[in-house]
Structure 1
Amino acid sequence: MTDELLNERYALAIERIRQIPAEKSVPQPYRDFFAQMAQYLCKMDQIRSRIAEGYLKTASEEELAVFNREPYEDVIGEWYETSYGNPAFAVRALGETHGRSLCCLYRELGNAVVWVYEDRLLELTAAMELYLELYAMFEEKTLPSAQYVKESIYWYVSDYAEERQEYQVREIVDPSLHFVKDIVMESDLTDLRYLYQYGEYITENEKGTARFLNTFSQEEIDAMARTYTEGFRKCFLVARKDLSKKKTVSIRFHIGFERMIRAAILQFREMGLEPVISSGARRTWVAGASANKQYDYDHRSDEALYLNEDLVKRRLRAMQVKYDEYKELADGYAGPAVVETFGEVPFEPVNKKQALHLNERQQKLRVGFQNEAGQIVNRYIKDDEYGYTIIAYPMPEIDPRYEKFL
């Protein structure tokens, strides 16, 4: 698809979405839901425009903290109790027939903040078009059936399976993905405004980590990074694997550790490895804070709405095709180098009956998918040529004496 066509699709979608908050063609209680989602998507469009205008570079740290919080406000703290992203509230407010499906849509649209910051216009546009498709259904004189709504979400997921799979493969093996790497390598890391360039939710944990690392000398930072990178090199040495045949390494870290990661990138390059750094699955590879861990937990099984055999087969076919397309990059992939964190305040999730849950058949499908996906990956990233390293550091909330632990 050409950029011109994609920009045209986006322009048409956002133009229509801007009209929706003032309309009354959808009956209550669904009108409020669709109006709120339209307002959110309009906010994402505004954020996209401000980023393009350079706001992340010119705003103060205080202004950026407010800017960073805005996309997450609806799920923070007490606000989550009356958020359509909360399945308990969504089912109570929207009913058993459509509450779970629309709550799932809420979560999918919530990914817009990541797509906006990373300028992934296809994903953003596709989600907006799904929203408009469902909105049009609820404008009809007769409300859509639960199955009809689920099928629309299913086809959205299925239709873009190849594009999503391609991006997921590239996130592992393709060093040309530069969004995160540019932040790490080109920012003034003494100016904590850089933390807000990711679009991830930023708290005192991330700021405290970055602030503390800025008290270290460059020699100390290099030593921290050397422990990490040497751990990766020695993994190959001990296992008698040939690192010289490899070209890339996947770096995974928590936001705030950029000074160390910058040093590690330079050290890996000395080994002949170009880092691949991507945001990956939300808050798993390059991670900020969670605005609400219960919200994340509530949506852990949203695919229960649409997961079936056909979708599993399509995803596996797409994975095979994309790994074959990127087989040279996959062959040069050495493995992950992971910076783990610990010390966060413990989280005890509430298991809500209103949240989506995989049934027994879907659980078997997920396990089967994971097994077959693992076999596909192993054909392109061979176990006997693969390595990894993991190092762990505490987060500031572990203790007021945090600086003594690091």
Structure 2
Amino acid sequence: MNDELMQERFSLMRERIGEIRKEELVREPYRDFFRKTGDFILEICRIHDRIREGWLEKASMEELKENNHKMYEDILPEHYEESYGNPACAQKILGRDFGQLLSFLYTEVRGMIVFAYEDRLFDMTVAMELFVQIYNLFEDPELSSKDVKDAIYWYVSDYSDEMAGHRVREGVDPSLDFAVRIICESDLTDLRYLYKYGEYVTENERAMAAFLNTLTEEEIQAMARTYTEGYRIGFIQGRKDITKKKTVNIRFQLGFERMVKAAIEQFREMGLAPVIYRSAVHSVNKKQAHRIGYYGAIPNQQFDYDHKDDAALYLDHEFVQRKLRVLQVAYEQVKELANTHGGPACIETFGETPFAPVAKKEACALSAHQQKLQVSYDNEAGQIVNRYIKGEERSFTIIAYPVKEIGENFEEIFRETVKINTLDNKLYEKIQQNIIEAL
């Protein structure tokens, strides 16, 4: 679909949602849900307008902080008990039949935040259309939960081509460079850049970025070199030819941009272009609560946990078969890019405050049959991926650093971690071997 038609669809939905907040066609308690969620959608649309006008470049740090907090405040722990994103709250207010379904809708709509920042009009529009479609269903007092569930099912199924297909492409295509441009074109000494992604940003990310800015260029290059050399050596040790590869997937958490920028330059010297994609936002692309890709602070881990099995609303045999077909077609369309993809290079962290999830009966849960379907899908999807990104030809590397949350000795621990990470490879191998033998 061309941009003009998509803009028209988007504008129509925006106008319609503006009308919804004035209407009283839907009875309470559902009217409150649609008004509040509609207000959120309209606010994201306004932010999208401002971003298109260049607001991110002109806004002060305080403005950016305030806006960032406002976008995520409803699901933060201090507000979560009263949020429609909380399935327990949603069921309490909206009832057993519709609470779970509308909590899913609310969660899917929240994905509009990052799509507004990336200017992905299709993804914003289809979420708005689902919202309006379900609102229209609620105008009928005889509505059944099956009607709403069917709307969700066909939304996920019908748009899986675009959603899952785009997810495949962004995993191997360096031209999808939203994050790369932020990293390579921003002034990383100006921490306002952290707010260009649309991710949630806290003191952790700001502190990490600020701390890396205190390191010398030589120190940053050494950190990046350890990381990139670890990737290159992985190919050598695995007796794999890195010269066949053209791209590397860089995964990191916000705040590490200065190191990532240096790593991008070093990978390019190896002939590898960076592929950097965001952790999944659409339900159809998520892998429970796991975040694969780049991401900022997690606003509320309980929110992620509560929605880890939302696929229970649509996972059946037909959907599994459709998603596998979509995956096959998507990889076939990017087969040359996939064939020259080298695999992931991950920057991980440690020292975060431990999280103890609360299992809620109101949250979606996969049935025994659905669990088998999920395992079957994962197995077959893995085989498809391996046909295009051959396991015997790709490699990976992982390096880890502490975060601010680790405590007041953060900087000291970080520097000591750098010392360990930058040990001579042969010395490190010897130490590792001694540990193995001792165990």
Counterpart-to-counterpart distance in 1, 2:93 and 2:36: 13
Conserved? CA contact 2:137–2:147, under 8 Å: no
Code of the aligned partner of 1:201: Y
- Is the aligned partner of 1:351 residue 2:351? no
Counterpart-to-counterpart distance in 2, 1:93 and 1:286: 35
Q: CA deviation at 1:168?
A: 1.1
Match of 2:295 in 1: 287
Q: Which of 356, 377, 385 is the matching residue for 1:369?
A: 377
Q: Which of 321, 326, 329 is the matching residue for 2:329?
A: 321
> Any gaps of 5 or more consecutive residues in structure 1?
none
Code of the aligned partner of 1:171: E
- Is the aligned partner of 1:179 residue 2:178? yes
Code of the aligned partner of 2:7: N
Q: Which of 391, 396, 399 is the matching residue for 2:399?
A: 391
Match of 2:259 in 1: 260
Deviating above 3 A after TM superposition, structure 1's stretches of 4 or more consecutive aligned residues are none
Match of 1:302 in 2: 310
- Is the aligned partner of 1:250 residue 2:249? yes
Counterpart-to-counterpart distance in 2, 1:208 and 1:247: 33
Match of 1:70 in 2: 70
Match of 1:89 in 2: 89
Counterpart-to-counterpart distance in 1, 2:109 and 2:7: 19
Code of the aligned partner of 1:180: A
Match of 2:191 in 1: 192
Spell out, residue by residue over 1:123-149, the C-alpha distance to the aligned partner (whole angstroms, 9 max, x if none).
Answer: 110010010001011112x23111111
Q: How many residues are aligned here? A: 405
Counterpart-to-counterpart distance in 2, 1:77 and 1:235: 41
Q: CA deviation at 1:166?
A: 1.4
Counterpart-to-counterpart distance in 1, 2:363 and 2:188: 40
Q: CA deviation at 1:28?
A: 0.6
Match of 2:39 in 1: 39
- Is the aligned partner of 1:135 residue 2:143? no
Spell out, residue by residue over 1:74-120, the C-alpha distance to the aligned partner (whole angstroms, 9 max, x if none).
Answer: 11122111111111110010001111000110100011101111111
- Aligned to 1:82, the other structure's residue is in SS state coil
Counterpart-to-counterpart distance in 1, 2:292 and 2:331: 21
Match of 2:153 in 1: 154
* Structure-2 change in CA distance of 1:342 and 1:90 (3 Å): same
- Is the aligned partner of 1:342 residue 2:350? yes
> Any gaps of 5 or more consecutive residues in structure 2?
282-290, 415-439
Counterpart-to-counterpart distance in 1, 2:57 and 2:375: 45
Match of 2:437 in 1: none
Match of 2:222 in 1: 223
Q: CA deviation at 1:21?
A: 1.2
Code of the aligned partner of 2:185: E
- Superposition pairs for residues 107-122 of structure 1, below 5 Å? 107-122=107-122
Q: CA deviation at 1:381?
A: 0.8
- Aligned to 1:174, the other structure's residue is in SS state coil
Query: How much is the aligned-residue C-alpha RMSD, in angstroms?
Result: 0.8
Give the TM-score, by structure 1 length. Answer: 0.99
Conserved? CA contact 1:168–1:280, under 8 Å: no
Percent identity between the two aligned chains: 55
Spell out, residue by residue over 1:354-379, the C-alpha distance to the aligned partner (whole angstroms, 9 max, x if none).
Answer: 00000001111111100000000000
Match of 2:30 in 1: 30
Conserved? CA contact 1:72–1:291, under 8 Å: yes
Give the TM-score, by structure 2 length. Answer: 0.91
Counterpart-to-counterpart distance in 1, 2:198 and 2:228: 27
- Aligned to 1:173, the other structure's residue is in SS state coil
Counterpart-to-counterpart distance in 2, 1:238 and 1:98: 54
Conserved? CA contact 1:137–1:143, under 8 Å: no
Conserved? CA contact 1:115–1:124, under 8 Å: yes
Q: CA deviation at 1:53?
A: 1.3
Counterpart-to-counterpart distance in 2, 1:370 and 1:253: 24
Greater shift in the superposed pair: 68-77 or 173-182:
68-77
Code of the aligned partner of 1:174: D
Q: CA deviation at 1:164?
A: 1.1
Code of the aligned partner of 1:66: E
- Aligned to 1:67, the other structure's residue is in SS state helix
Counterpart-to-counterpart distance in 2, 1:312 and 1:121: 27
Match of 2:429 in 1: none
Code of the aligned partner of 1:137: L
- Aligned to 2:252, the other structure's residue is in SS state strand
